[in-house]
Chain A
């Protein structure tokens, strides 16, 4: 090993070589234009910037129906979203998650996730009862597989997502599987009751 080879980065103070600023400036549009930290817009991290707010505390949006909130908030925020208010069993679960557990507790988030899954089943049943059953072909957009050459996108590819795509139909279809299972159990129970009577 020659003396020059002894200067291995990491094991000595040498740093790996990179291109010169002049070479980079010539090759890459805008190279170095924000070298100065003062030119970078969110530096320093905390500073006052005029926002256009002409209030110290905003006027309050009216709370037309009870609005759930994190118990870490001391009050309902002055402005909030009003889409998709709580309803049904999923609403009971979510309301409990907000009322009982702070954001620091896993139970808070896991209950909210449970509420999400329950609401999917609720919405399937509701749309079925309303005579407008969900159409999985339309809602999953799976027709795009043909129009946008889904086979070619995965063929001859090392994409690691291809290895677990078989799980996706289960994630999409499990509410139907659960609903079907409940239906089968209910039918069996009905038959048993008729036979006994």
Chain B
């Protein structure tokens, strides 16, 4: 089969690989029909995630058709059109039995601090991802769902991570009616988080980014006020001023490890790999939220230390909430919102690349060319 493979930092290519085999009785093999590149794939692409091995196939956002199932699979059959959450999880361990699907203990031998994620390095279990013609899906009775007939392919694809994570980010903020919510990052997760904040009753939603075309999307898609941080000497002071000196009630970090805006933080993290992530947006969140407020973190960070301003978080009495989204828990409510016309997830898809052009897709997304917000890969 043809599959995207990692060759080293900033380098990927399409290679021939063996079609994955059933390795466990509850495995399924999925023929991928659409995959997406996630902003967090860029952390792998830039060589920031420990134990990212040459030859690995990335891609934790994908949908497809069931090709083959293992002997114990009861809920899926060949031919089913399915969407697959980015979490690999068993459904039965201590954590899964409490709904913490993204923190499963039975699928990642390489680390206990993170669950399993498709195509996201050996630190996340060493599974190949879905930017390929076929992918192995463990625990097929637990993770995947048949895509509802009324749902379009690209809408389903967005539900596998970005939409579920964005909604989850807003939810972690524990927004109450009238709250001022600031979202750092106008990428897919930030856009969905901003949109979801309104569902939860926000009174103001402000999106911060540096790319004007993404801020335009934040205004049109998420009805948000926008701030381009490059226009201000100190964006935290600007946010304080725009909230009458109080700060936001809730701030959502939808940027994660590659946050820019501070040369030293960015270069030490993303170029020199001396931090697990550049905590620029996280530090701005801590300083920009009001005392007693909540910071929600859904931007991805690596496992190495980062220079986070923890003292400010302590002294301000903040609530810090974070996790990888337990995607399948989000689906029923998100399906209702899509069906009721509250949002159309595929509105943020800007680019579609054939699998053979995956290197160019990564470059366009990484370098933020051509107004790219969300690239989709078509095997």
**A residues neighboring B (CB under 8 Å):** 8-11, 15-16, 18-19, 21, 24, 27-35, 37, 39-43, 45-49, 51-59, 61-62, 67-70, 72-73, 76-84, 94, 98, 103, 106, 109-110, 112-113, 115-117, 119-120, 122-124, 134, 136, 138-145, 147-150, 153, 157-161, 163-165, 167-168, 171-172, 175
Sample of 21 A–B contacts (CB below 8 Å)? A16-B246, A28-B223, A32-B177, A32-B201, A33-B342, A40-B333, A42-B99, A42-B168, A47-B99, A53-B141, A58-B26, A79-B90, A81-B122, A83-B55, A103-B111, A140-B11, A144-B360, A148-B360, A148-B372, A153-B370, A158-B231
A116 to B53 Cα, complex, angstroms: 6
Taking CB atoms, residues of chain A closer than 8 Å to B97 are 48, 51
The answer to whether A120 and B54 have CB atoms under 8 Å apart is: yes
A98 to B8 Cα, complex, angstroms: 21
Report the nearest B residue to A84, measured CB to CB.
B53
The answer to whether A164 and B369 have CB atoms under 8 Å apart is: no
The answer to whether A48 and B52 have CB atoms under 8 Å apart is: no
Taking CB atoms, residues of chain B closer than 8 Å to A165 are 367
Cβ of B237 within 8 Å of any chain A Cβ, yes or no, is no
Taking CB atoms, residues of chain A closer than 8 Å to B54 are 84, 119-120, 122-123
A94 to B122 Cα, complex, angstroms: 11
The answer to whether B244 and A9 have CB atoms under 8 Å apart is: yes
The answer to whether A57 and B92 have CB atoms under 8 Å apart is: yes
Cβ of B126 within 8 Å of any chain A Cβ, yes or no, is yes
The answer to whether A147 and B177 have CB atoms under 8 Å apart is: no
Instruction: Say whether, besides A31-B198, A140-B11, A172-B10, A84 and B55 are in contact (CB < 8 Å).
Output: yes
Report the nearest B residue to A157, measured CB to CB.
B212
Q: Shortest CB–CB separation between residue B186 and chain A, in angstroms?
A: 13
Partner-binding segment picked from B102-110, B281-289, B312-320? B102-110
The answer to whether A161 and B368 have CB atoms under 8 Å apart is: yes
Taking CB atoms, residues of chain B closer than 8 Å to A76 are 109
A164 to B266 Cα, complex, angstroms: 9
Taking CB atoms, residues of chain A closer than 8 Å to B304 are 106, 109-110, 113
In this complex, the member of B228, B243, B358 whose beta carbon has the largest number of chain A beta carbons within 10 angstroms is: B243
A124 to B11 Cα, complex, angstroms: 12
Taking CB atoms, residues of chain B closer than 8 Å to A147 are 360
Taking CB atoms, residues of chain B closer than 8 Å to A167 are 267, 271
Q: Shortest CB–CB separation between residue A196 and chain B, in angstroms?
A: 38
Dominant secondary structure at the A interface: loop
Q: Shortest CB–CB separation between residue A49 and chain B, in angstroms?
A: 5
Partner-binding segment picked from B61-69, B149-157, B324-332? B324-332
- B61-83: which have CB < 8 Å to A? 72, 74-75
Q: Shortest CB–CB separation between residue B232 and chain A, in angstroms?
A: 11
Report the nearest A residue to B140, measured CB to CB.
A52
Q: Shortest CB–CB separation between residue A134 and chain B, in angstroms?
A: 6
The answer to whether A16 and B8 have CB atoms under 8 Å apart is: no
In this complex, the member of B25, B51, B167 whose beta carbon has the largest number of chain A beta carbons within 10 angstroms is: B51
Contact-residue size bin, chain B (C-beta under 8 Å from the other chain)? 35 or more
A99 to B372 Cα, complex, angstroms: 42
- B117-142: which have CB < 8 Å to A? 122-123, 125-128, 138-139, 141-142
Taking CB atoms, residues of chain A closer than 8 Å to B96 are 51, 53
Cβ of B295 within 8 Å of any chain A Cβ, yes or no, is no
The answer to whether B199 and A46 have CB atoms under 8 Å apart is: no
Q: Shortest CB–CB separation between residue B140 and chain A, in angstroms?
A: 9
Query: Which one of A53, A122, A141 contacts B90 once the chains associate, using CB atoms below 8 Å?
Result: A53
Query: Which one of A27, A68, A141, A172 contacts B362 once the chains associate, using CB atoms below 8 Å?
Result: A141
A132 to B48 Cα, complex, angstroms: 27
A-B Cβ contacts below 8 A, count: 308
The answer to whether B343 and A29 have CB atoms under 8 Å apart is: yes
Taking CB atoms, residues of chain A closer than 8 Å to B330 are 41-42
A115 to B52 Cα, complex, angstroms: 9
Query: Which one of B23, B260, B368 contacts A61 once the chains associate, using CB atoms below 8 Å?
Result: B23
Q: Shortest CB–CB separation between residue A106 and chain B, in angstroms?
A: 7
A58 to B72 Cα, complex, angstroms: 11
Q: Mark B175-206, 1 if CB is under 8 A from A, else 0.
A: 00110100000000000000010111101100
The answer to whether B198 and A158 have CB atoms under 8 Å apart is: no
Instruction: Say whether, besides A34-B333, A52-B75, A79-B106, A120 and B8 are in contact (CB < 8 Å).
Output: yes
Query: Which one of B91, B178, B361, B372 contacts A18 once the chains associate, using CB atoms below 8 Å?
Result: B178
Report the nearest A residue to B98, measured CB to CB.
A46
- B302-348: which have CB < 8 Å to A? 302-305, 325-326, 329-334, 337, 340-343
Taking CB atoms, residues of chain B closer than 8 Å to A106 are 304-305
Q: Shortest CB–CB separation between residue B249 and chain A, in angstroms?
A: 9
Taking CB atoms, residues of chain A closer than 8 Å to B341 are 29
A106 to B302 Cα, complex, angstroms: 12
Cβ of B47 within 8 Å of any chain A Cβ, yes or no, is yes
Taking CB atoms, residues of chain A closer than 8 Å to B168 are 42
The answer to whether B171 and A43 have CB atoms under 8 Å apart is: yes
Taking CB atoms, residues of chain A closer than 8 Å to B110 are 68-70, 98
Query: Which one of B9, B174, B360 contacts A141 once the chains associate, using CB atoms below 8 Å?
Result: B360
Taking CB atoms, residues of chain A closer than 8 Å to B138 are 79
Q: Shortest CB–CB separation between residue B89 and chain A, in angstroms?
A: 8
Q: Shortest CB–CB separation between residue B36 and chain A, in angstroms?
A: 16
